[in-house]
Amino acid sequence: GESVGLHLPTLSVQEGDNSIINCAYSNSASDYFIWYKQESGKGPQFIIDIRSNMDKRQGQRVTVLLNKTVKHLSLQIAATQPGDSAVYFCAEPFSPGNTGKLIFGQGTTLQVKP
Amino acid sequence: DAGVTQSPTHLIKTRGQQVTLRCSPISGHKSVSWYQQVLGQGPQFIFQYYEKEERGRGNFPDRFSARQFPNYSSELNVNALLLGDSALYLCASSLKQGANEKLFFGSGTQLSVL
């Protein structure tokens, strides 16, 4: 069946360093991916998305890379700050065209050391 | 503008009881989705409603039901509660059902079943 998984449960980085969070997916037909950030006590917050016709997309301090050959995507956070400490999830729709029904990965906890 | 609001924020029930969770979407949003998030895992899709009709159901037993009202608010009902139903229940809304529709999450209702 379909699955979206993250490679590491916890990532610890020094403040100011760059962070890379990885995610693998199993469905080669997947065409849309989303990264969410979840802080303690809050719901997931949209960070950035990417469609399968793109290899890279940049936002403010974040970049998502998509490698369709190996079914892998990554979230890169530049100059990581203490406020970036959270759990990060990759997600994809159950079926193309409906982002209300998402499959989430297990999540990676990002810890930023001062 | 208010985001997605959920009530109550916390709830304690005992096995066998019934619970109703409430969600108000962002103003103007017509699609509401419900997710269950067990501690340490990613959210798992339960239901999606759009224009008051069920548009999708995840792999959850019939003890779980939901509905959407004319004002697009929604309720999630869980009957005959089990210990395993203890989780964070998240509501999310989007403007409409479809591609490129960002999903906005509330902070959730933390349900504890004793």
CA distance B33 to chain A (A): 6
Q: Among partner residues B40, B43, B101, which is closest to A99 by beta-carbon distance?
A: B101
**Span B50-89, pLDDT tens digits:** 989 999 999 999 999 999 999 999 999 999 999 999 999 9
How many domains is chain B built from? 1
Judge whether A19 and A87 are in contact, CB under 8 Å.
Answer: no
Residues of chain A with pLDDT under 70: 1-7
Which of B47, B49, B74 shows the shortest CA–CA distance to B63? B47
Domain that holds residue B39: 1-8+27-95
The reply to whether B102 falls in a domain is no
Domains, chain A, with CATH or none: 4-113 (2.60.40.10)
Indicate yes or no: CB of B90 within 8 angstroms of CB of A101: no
Task: Compute the distance between CA of residue A74 and CA of residue A55 in angstroms, rounded to an integer.
Answer: 11
The reply to whether B15 falls in a domain is no
Q: Among partner residues B43, B44, B99, which is closest to A99 by beta-carbon distance?
A: B99
Judge whether B37 and B43 are in contact, CB under 8 Å.
Answer: yes
CATH number at residue B83: 2.60.40.10
